Structure 1
Amino acid sequence: MNELRTGPLPSEPPPEVSAGRVFLEFLKLGLTSFGGPVAHIGYFRDRFVRRLRWLDEEAFADLLALCQFLPGPASSQLGMAIGLEKAGLGGALAAFVGFTLPSALIMAVLAFGFAAGGDRLDAGVLSGLAVVAVAVVAEAVRGMAMSLARGWWLGGIAVAATILVVLSPGGATQIAILLAAGLAGYALGPSVGAATVVAAHPGISRGAGLASLLVFFLLLFGLPLAAHLASQPELALFGGLYRSGALVFGGGHVVLPLLQDAVVAPGFISDRAFVAGYGAAQAMPGPLFSLSAWIGVAAGLPDPVSGALLAVLALFAPGLLLVLAVMPFWQSLRRIAPVRRALAGINAAVVGLLAAALYDPVFTTAIHGMRELLLALACYALLVPARIPAWGVVLFAAFGGWWIH
């Protein structure tokens, strides 16, 4: 059976970048990455694989597959992992702050009363921002399939994953597919070459990773107890948001029921305010978890500014702690031949999951007729053959959506 080549092991790691550079790159993405978690993956790939070449296709897919397995906001965790690989702990924090800051600030301002959702934004502009996500995700699926789903074996895994997710959507189905693909790759996959080196920074030690895991569980179980004993609303809010971020798989819209149970049922905010905040978050670039800033302001704490900061940290902290916990072990694990075979199957399945997401919800939400389809094709032409930066394509799509509506 032919060897599946994943590239030789480089003699030296890629050049290190500063945490400041990581912050600036993710700040750009935080300002322009419209379309939700699936689109974020496409934006990340365009920026860090195609343009900056911080990662190759295989290393990017490996990190994406890892983040799919972790509870928390998968796209934000992918960004944290990239930042950690390139600039250590400072890079992980810089990626988180840069990607989250724009939408969190806007959501906090909106919660103070400037607006309550997308109703004050032009419907055509919102339509254009949804259309550009189609082009971004389509290119991500195409490029990753060419690299990670070549041949009948890996291509078959990708196609099977697509069909299964379309027929039975849901986070549990996705996790089951990734596990099955990993087992299939481990047991039946072809031999693989050595993993490429992606870390340009020593990152954090294994001891620090284990300490992060310990903190994750201490906060998960300790915050409810502390809130009960101290009777402090801030602790109760922090605990509810932390629990939501710690127990959700897939992030994005999947977290909404958990959030509603954590903040509406105890009476921190009304159901009407929660729905209004969710509506506003749909029009934001960056992570949907920035809804936490709205919740922190709307919760009526004595200091709404610190409330917003507290809420954002509470919802994102579990995902960050888990990334810090697993990444020190990741580079060593991905070099082991059986793990490489399993990852080859998992990465092919990830391509299938993205293909299914391209259809639903990305395509079904954005494309309602020939005008939107033509706009999506124009965005793709600008993004890929013309290599226009993503922010320029976003502006074009927003104007195009306004014009055609």
Structure 2
Amino acid sequence: MKQPKHLNFLWDVFVLAATSFGGPQVHWALFLKRLVHQKAYLSEEELFEIQALCSVLPGPTSTQMITAIGLKRGGASLAYLTLIVWITPAVFIMTAAAYGMTYLTNRAVLQYVLPVGIGLILQAGWTMAQKVIRSPMYVLIFLLTLGLGIAFSSPYIFPLVLVLGGSISSLNFKEFPRQNKHRMIIPWANFNLYWGFLLGLAILGHLTDYYPIRMFENFYRNGSIVFGGGQVLAPVLYTEFVEFKGLIRSDDFLTGMALSQSLPGPVFALTSYLGVLLMRDYGFLGELTGSAIGALGVFLPGTFLIFFVYRIWGQLKQYRFIRASLAGIQASSVGLTIVAVYTFMSPLIVNGDGVSIAVVLGSFLLAQSGKFPAIALFSAALVAGYFLA
């Protein structure tokens, strides 16, 4: 029997979905290892382009990256299948967690999960830096991003420094060969879907005051404006649903946040967990609907955007300054990765948590050796946390 087309690719996506711990900074390194070096589905240069492109878009960066890879390999159908396969394990686990566990009996079990994650983020940043920081200009962009990211601890600085890095490196456009330019043909359909959903849901929610629609609008709006991955999304959702609206208890939210960052796949799957809790008064099917609303709401806007942007990317590359800007965006991405390390490490240093700091450094070295996959390091962290809790 003939094997279905692209089945091997979807299997590799599933393996990544089940083993890719650590958020978008680490996912990038795992995509590079499996999809580029092991399976050669695309080249390093193509992955770097996709990573740079997704970095400047709002939404879940790693999800947009792997969806764009599916779009490149097999068109829209494969891209949607890739999206579903990629998000399903994390969404399923987070939904089950919301049903069966509102809080951990002893959160100390997770005490070493974050330090391991920091070590993996640091290793991913180091890997990327070796490949993209190739001249003094990119060192300058990296240091500028690092300084601004540390000085202004706001998610809104993310797109600004990426644009700044791209603008600086675009001045290097003369190093790139000219291409014959063609009139750009822009398919606006997915961009119209992106802003149409955003506007339509806001109007519909206001007119009907129907709770599931307002939920969908909340998740879609946050998925449309958040830059920087799940670590940025979580505090935004906490402010809205816990502090401002009081719809979710603080300990329930923090439990879900800890779980989402301890699981493989997209950290944005936290919204499935929150969707169940927001629909807890609507019975089992209502809670299941809440999970679907949470997942669809937060993943749809990023999907619409990457479909729109990636389809015109080939046309945009005919301009030399666009091609030149990519390396600057990549250098800024490295800077933001180290900013994330700094942000997570600061409390450990302030509190004098020498054990956790040692775990960070050990995780970095073990990951850098290439002999210990992320899932093994996170499993060891959970086992150590269980026995030492």
Tell me if 1:155 matches 2:139: yes
Q: Deviations over 1:308-362 (max 9, x none)?
A: 112211121111111111110113323532211122222222222222223322x
Bigger shift: residues 128-137 or 338-347: 128-137
Correspondent of 2:22 among 35, 44, 53: 35
Question: Structure 1 151/180 Cα, relative in aligned 2: closer, same or farther at 3 Å?
Answer: same
TM-score, scaled relative to structure 2 = 0.82
Distance 1:244 1:174 in 2: 15
Q: Does 1:315 align with 2:298?
A: yes
Cα deviation code 1:9-61 (max 9, x no counterpart): xxxxxxxx954334322322332333334333333333334443434443323
1:46 to 20, 25, 33: 33
Q: How many residues align?
A: 374
CA distance in 2, matches of 1:360, 1:402: 26
Which residue is 1:200 aligned to? none
* Backbone CA RMSD of aligned residues: 3.2
- The answer to whether the Cα contact below 8 Å between 1:63 and 1:81 also exists between their aligned partners in 2 is yes
Instruction: Give CA-to-partner distance per residue, 1:98-130, whole Å, 9 cap, x none.
Output: 332222112212222x2224544652xx24433
Task: Mark the runs of 5 or more structure 1 residues left unpaired by the alignment.
Answer: 1-16, 196-205
Distance 1:106 1:355 in 2: 29
Q: Give the alignment partner of residue 278 of structure 1, picking from 257, 275, 289.
A: 257
Kindly provide the amino acid, as one letter, of the partner of residue 311 in structure 2.
Answer: P
The more displaced of 271-280 and 352-361 is 271-280
Determine whether 1:289 maps to 2:268: yes
What is the deviation of 1:211?
1.1
**1:186-237 C-alpha deviation (Å, 9 max, x unpaired):** 2246613699xxxxxxxxxx77x52111111111111122234444322222
Counterpart of 2:81?
94
- The code of the aligned residue for 2:272 comes to A
Match in the other structure for 1:232: 210
Tell me what 1:301 maps to: 282
Correspondence list, 1:81-120, <5 A: 81-112=68-99, 114-120=100-106
> Aligned letter for 1:301?
Y
The residue aligned with 2:182 is none
Partner of 1:342: 325
Instruction: Tell me the distance in 1 between the aligned counterparts of 2:239 and 2:131.
Output: 42
**Secondary structure, aligned partner of 1:245:** helix
Superimposed CA distance per residue, residues 166-202 of structure 1 (whole angstroms, 9 cap, x where no aligned partner): 222322222222222222112246613699xxxxxxx
Amino acid at match of 1:96: L
Q: How does 1:158-169 map to 2 (within 5 A)?
A: 158-169=142-153
Aligned to 1:249: 227
Offset at residue 149 of structure 1 (A): 0.7
Alpha carbons of structure 1 residues 171 and 227: separation in structure 2 relative to 1, 3 Å: closer
- List structure 1 segments (4+ residues) > 6 angstroms apart after TM superposition: 365-368
Partner of 2:8: 21
Which residue pairs with 2:311 in the alignment? 328
Report the equivalent of 1:202: none
Partner Cα distance (1:272, 1:134) in 2: 23
* 3-state DSSP of counterpart to 2:307: helix
Please give the alpha-carbon distance, in whole angstroms, between the structure 2 residues aligned to 1:87 and 1:65. 21
